Amino acid sequence: MFRFFENLVDPYTEYAANDTPPQRLLPFLLQYTQPFRGIFVLAALMSIAVASVEVGLIWAMGWVVDLLAQDPQTVWNNYGGVLIALGLFVLILRPLLHVVDVALINNTIMPNLGTLVRFRAHAHVLRQSVGWFENDFAGRIANRIVQTPPATGEVAFQVFDAITFSLAYVVGALVLLGEADPRLMIPLAIWIVLYGLLIRWTVRNVSPASKASSDARSQFTGRIVDSYTNIHSIKMFANHEAELAYGQEAIEHARQTFQREMRLYTVMDMALNVINGLLIVGVVGLALMLWMQGTASAGAVAAATALGLRLNAMTGWIMWATTSLFRELGVIQEGMQTIAQPIALLDAPGAKPLEMTEGRVEIQSLTHHYGRETGGLEAVDLTIQPGEKIGLVGRSGAGKSTLVKLLLRFYDPDGGRIVIDGQDIAHVTQDSLRQHIGMVQQDSALLHRSIRENILYGRPDATEAQMIAAATKAQAHAFIQTLQDSEGRSGYDAHVGERGVKLSGGQRQRIALARVILKDAPILLLDEATSALDSEVEAAIQETLYGMMEGKTVIAIAHRLSTIAQMDRVLVLDQGRIVEAGPHEALLSQGGLYARLWSHQSGGFLGQDTEDDA
């Protein structure tokens, strides 16, 4: 039975990804819940049916009370069959209706709706550009991805478990009292108006308060994730107290917003008790008065009393369900700030995969300033021939990394274009572009997975032998065989920790090199690829790198100028422009910026006298 209900909706069903999700709450929810619309209708109908049965049982109880005024034998002779049928209905059909109602909510909607939202939200965020991630806390992004799916499930739960049921129940109660005596509808109608006004007041105040509270929790999550991610810096600079105060500030803000939210619930409970007292006194008192006047039967009084007490018991639950509904809607709205953001960096309409033939790279009037007036690149023109090895040098902030990011299309340029083998990279698919480019960065963070998974990330279909060969070329195979993690996994199965923190910088760099060696892309980008290695290992790796470069178009960034002296050409960038270009020896003989940088090096590195590279 469980499997039947659980499989009514596939949360991973094919769907058309929306690059510009709706920015308003209702359209957003309608888009995400589209596969559940039929289930929602069925769940609503079942909830109405269950509520109708409950009201019907109260009516039946009043009918039975009226029968008690007759002789027992007469009752049995005239109504015995009806009483037996009523008992069988309560024993068999009523539980069956409840099972279907509960199974639709608990087994079809709750597990699958949250899964669908979680999967699609994660898929949407993964499609965002690198620049988008650089402008936010990873912790806050993750928090919103984590909070929104259960909030969506809770909204659906409250709608069908409480809201639909209670509306059907109240309508049924009106009908029942109207049949007993239309005058009994008056106190219930007054209570409905007062209750509706209270709900309106609560919702209007709880929704923004809930959103503020959710925002505060996300801010706190972002801060602590930032602290945990940079725990080495915190310990190294002995800034424990300052970091704790930084977190406490966010914790206190979260406490204050939550306090304001909970004050609303206290006011709501006080008002609810007052209007529920009016309901009980009004309905039961009027029913008794009509019975004393002889215009209402004892059964009608019993039914009215049962309804009044039942509604009194339900109102707190309904109110909490309603406020919970709008509180979770506030959480969803907060999550939409992340998962409903449009995808800014898209493949062009009709974009085709990059067809790599030679590896020629042409950079034409390339300009990019990250939305600022300064920094980045300014009108750079450059042609890199197939198989040519280019070295990029310059002070920090000269624009070296910007050029690499634009080549990978992590950003779109403000002006100009990049052409690879005659194809503008803005008009090819991003995935195909990056599949043809291998890159080793100065800080090669690894995935918190096994060594094997990290190396195979460069080429998932590679064989074990190919993976080991790549690790061997990167001078990594020997130390990998000695690794063992806290779970007892060893060698290539050992896990490296978040961002590879369980390994030394040199070990991480060699695994990153192995990954790029295995990928064997025709264009190779090296950003201080050997900076984390000791001299002995670096010497061995340099030979590997020179072997990797054979037949590839290479762009290498280095502060250690000796590492790029053997390049075909060296380009010197300054303030976003190429100011010198040529072989190493020719640039030295010119006595320009490159020659000054070379002469000013200490230990083989450029001086860090300006801002970090943009």
Task: Please count the other Cβ atoms lying within 10 Å of the Cβ belonging to residue 124.
Answer: 20
| The predicted structure's pLDDT at residue 559 | 67
Closest by CA to 402, choosing from 427, 383, 421, 374, is 374
pLDDT tens by residue, 457-497: 989 999 999 999 999 988 889 999 998 888 888 999 998 87
**If pLDDT is split at 50, 70 and 90, which confidence band does 536 have?**
low
Structure token pair of residue 282: 């009004």
Give me the count of residues in the chain: 614
Residue 572: strand pairing partners: 393, 580
Closest by CA to 511, choosing from 147, 408, 502, is 502
532, pLDDT greater than 70: no
> Of 1.10.3720.10, 1.20.1560.10, 3.40.50.620, 3.30.230.10, which CATH number belongs to 18-339?
1.20.1560.10
Output the CA torsion 204→206→209→215 (10° steps): -110
How large a percentage of the chain has pLDDT more than 70? 94
Residue 440: strand pairing partners: 526
**If pLDDT is split at 50, 70 and 90, which confidence band does 602 have?**
very low
Greater confidence (607 vs 207) lies with: 207
Predicted structure pTM score = 0.76
Mean pLDDT of the chain: 85
Mean pLDDT for 561-573 is 83
608, pLDDT greater than 50: no
Query: Exposure of 42 by Cβ count < 10 A (0-12 exposed, 13-18 middle, 19+ buried)?
Result: middle
199, pLDDT greater than 90: no
530, pLDDT greater than 70: no
Query: Exposure of 493 by Cβ count < 10 A (0-12 exposed, 13-18 middle, 19+ buried)?
Result: middle
pLDDT tens by residue, 340-388: 999 888 899 999 999 999 899 999 999 998 877 667 898 899 999 999 9
User: What is the distance between the alpha carbons of residues 90 and 82, in angstroms, rounded to a whole number?
Assistant: 12
| Ordered DSSP codes for 214-279 | HHHHHHHHHHHHHHHHTHHHHHHTT-HHHHHHHHHHHHHHHHHHHHHHHHHHHHHHHHHHHHHHHH
Topology annotation, domain 358-436+566-614 = Rossmann fold (3.40.50)
User: What is the distance between the alpha carbons of residues 581 and 596, in angstroms, rounded to a whole number?
Assistant: 14
| The predicted structure's pLDDT at residue 360 | 93
What are the backbone angles phi and psi of residue 422, rounded to the nearest 5°?
80, 5
**If pLDDT is split at 50, 70 and 90, which confidence band does 579 have?**
very high
The domain locations on the chain are: 18-339, 358-436+566-614
Mean pLDDT for 425-445 is 88
Structure token pair of residue 123: 């898929």
User: What is the distance between the alpha carbons of residues 445 and 443, in angstroms, rounded to a whole number?
Assistant: 6
| CA-based R_g, the chain, Å | 35
3-state SS class at 105: helix
Task: Please count the other Cβ atoms lying within 10 Å of the Cβ belonging to residue 343.
Answer: 17
User: Rounded to whole angstroms, what are the CA distances from 139 to 145, 146, 221?
Assistant: 10, 10, 6
253, pLDDT greater than 50: yes
| The predicted structure's pLDDT at residue 266 | 85
Give alpha helix (H) positions in 89-159.
94-103, 110-126, 130-134, 138-158
Q: Poorest-confidence range of 74-78, 137-141, 336-340?
A: 137-141
User: Rounded to whole angstroms, what are the CA distances from 127 to 135, 160, 191, 353?
Assistant: 15, 33, 51, 17
611, pLDDT greater than 60: no
| The predicted structure's pLDDT at residue 492 | 93
Contact 318, 216 (CB under 8 A): no
